[in-house]
Amino acid sequence: MPAKTNKPQIGDVKEESYFMNKAYKMEGKDKKNFKPHKMYCKNGSVHNAKTYKQHLALKKKGCDHKPIKK
C-alpha cells in the first residue's frame, strides 16, 4: 500500500488546482531571481530572454529551455 501524502494523486478532483497553485507560487520566485537566458522554439530558432516579460512571452509562444533534438 503506498504511503499517504498531502500531494493529490492522479484522478483526484483537486489535482489540477494543486498544480496550478504550485505553478503560480513558482512564478513569483522566478520573477525575483530571473537571470537572462536562451529559449529554444519549436521551429528551431533561438531567442535570448533578457527580461522576465520576454521570458513569459516566449513561453507562451511554445519556446522551452532545452534545445529540440532533431
Return d(Cα 70, Cα 65) in angstroms, integer: 16
Average pLDDT score, the chain: 75
Instruction: Give the residues across from 48 on adjacent strands.
Output: 38
Residue 1's pLDDT is what? 54
Which residue do the cell numbers 500500500 mark? 1
- Span 48-68, pLDDT tens digits: 999 999 999 999 999 998 887
Q: For the whole prediction, is pTM greater than 0.75?
A: no
Which residues are within 8 A (CB) of 7 and not within 5 positions of it... i.e. 6 or more apart?
18
